[in-house]
Chains A and B, each alone.
Chain A
Amino acid sequence: MSAVIAALPGWDWIVEPLQYGFLVRAIWVSAFVGLVCAVLSCYITLKGWSLMGDAISHAVVPGVVIAYALNIPFAIGAFVFGFGATVAIGYIKSRTRLKEDAVIGIVFTGFFAFGLVLVTKIPSNIDLFHILFGNVLGISQPDIIQTLIAGVITLVVILVRRKDLLLFCFDPNHAKAIGLRTPVMYYTLLLVLALTIVAALQTAGIILVISMLVTPGSIGYLLSDRFDHMLIISVVSSVFSCVMGTYLSYHFDVSTGGSIVVLLTLLFVMAMIFAPKYGILAQEFRQRSPQPLEEDSQKQQVVVDQA
């Protein structure tokens, strides 16, 4: 660990890897994926759809295998199965008395197991390990293009529909009351979720992608009360972790996805403890000295009376 800290400010440490084309590629691809995941992450955490993200990421496996077998882009197979799983979940939930978490658990493990069976039966050169944990250092040109397409579509859709999506996360009833089509928003959000997971597949792998979808938004949520701030914090921490994680994985020859997620998690732990308002320390402190809080509420009372 001390070696890391000693090396951190080193110019060489940053620049030396940049002479390798594959590493430069890995760095900017993972930074891009980090950006896409971070933006969506804010919506997913507020909507409470983390488990849904987990479900989609596992459900894409059979799609990836079939896509390779048929020699079509992996992103298409992954997207079809990932999005298909969410449709299946929605359908089963509306037709049975099961709770959503049970339905999600059943569907995604079913898809995942089916994928495992396919991987071991269909002869192909897919490395299961790369699907599970990502392989951004070895990412190929076509894979980069697919990642970019999926990511750009996600960003554009969110940019255009950001207000409606936020309203849908906050108060779907109000969205309905003002005549907006909530089913469209529901499927839009699922769609970009599936696309983001497809985009992140090569970087983080299906096991770790959920971290990139939940942790950045959670960090932002702990640090801010305003959505735009939450978004910025989320993006900064995610992109930082992706770039640094890729560096670390090169320098120390460890898993890229692994080091990205470890960094993100460290940032989360710091936010959880030190966040100025919602951090553990701040809450402790407030409980011990309730003085300023009372003053504040008294002030508030006065203002109300004037109103």
Chain B
Amino acid sequence: MPATLPRLDIAVENVSVTYNNARLALYNATCTVEPGTITALVGPNGSGKSTLFKSIMGFLRPSQGQVRVGGLPVPKAQKQQLMAYVPQSDEVDWNFPVSVFDVVMMGRYGYMNLLRMPRAKDRRLVMESLERVGMVQFRDRQIGELSGGQKKRAFLARALAQAGKVILLDEPFTGVDVKTEKGIVDLLLQLRDEGHTILVSTHDLASIATFCDRTILLNRTILAEGNTQETFTKENLELTFGGLPMVSLEHMLPSAEVSS
């Protein structure tokens, strides 16, 4: 039952990242993603959201700082299949000759033997995951032959098949229509209720208050974090998106009262 699942937090401590073009992409970022919550990661383009994701996942080596998941170092957590990652679309080679089914099956490799021979259970979980995102009928499509929203759902299914306790989604809503967005949000809410910890970056400020328990505001460093109600304020958004005319931000706030 969901209640017995161990809930895992993500603790980011003092992480700084410099790419080899010597630009500091992330500076002294410290934040916590509380266990069993949906947390939004918000910041303008180039603020370091993807960089923070990649540091959490261990895809790049921060110049300082450390990340722990459920108290474990990241490589350990990954060996135990605790962490799933849904990449931003531009990180995927969409011309690669693999089908949707193949991609979702890759979520199960960590559970298989050395030869990666899928067992009946793996196939069942792959089909269940495809069903949950409504992609069963596309399972034999080459991944490039999907629409933007379908591509997102295919990779979401891979994360489901992996059954990680912590799921990181980098911009799952870009290029997705309202209906698909709602579908994904509903799924995330279900996953949270099952005890998953979810970190999601998004540019859709208007929808954050509707499903994110917590919000982290980022621009090179962590500017604010906490409950969405307290954190998602006019002042904080101004701080994060500095330079944007306030009018354009105003209508994205859940309600005018929150900020006053």
Contact = CB atoms under 8 A, between A and B. Distances in A.
A170 B114 contact: no
Contacts of B21: 97
B114 A160 contact: yes
B256 to A, nearest CB: 36
B59 A300 contact: no
Interface string A123-164: 000000000000000000000000000000000000010011
Nearest to B133: A307
B58 A163 contact: no
B78 A176 contact: yes
Given A163-B115, A163-B116, A178 B134 contact: no
Interface string B129-154: 00000110100001001010110000
A177 B57 contact: yes
B84 interface: yes
A176 B59 contact: yes
A116 to B, nearest CB: 33
A307 B59 CA distance: 34
A177 B109 contact: no
A174 interface: yes
A171 B106 contact: yes
B142 A225 contact: yes
B2 interface: no
A115 B145 CA distance: 48
B175 interface: no
Chain A contact patch, size range: 20 to 34
B78 A179 contact: yes
A178 B78 contact: yes
Contacts of A221: 97
A304 interface: yes
B80 interface: yes
Contact of B57 (A170, A176, A227, A307): A176
Contacts of A300: 147
Interface string A165-203: 011011101101111100000000000000000000000
B79 A179 contact: yes
B85 interface: yes
B59 A170 contact: no
B29 interface: no
Contacts of A304: 147, 149-150
Interface stretch (B7-15, B87-95, B216-224, B232-240): B87-95
A102 interface: no
Closest 3 CB pairs of A and B: A307-B134, A178-B110, A179-B79
Given A176-B58, A307-B135, 5 more contacts: A160-B115, A164-B109, A166-B98, A169-B96, A304-B149
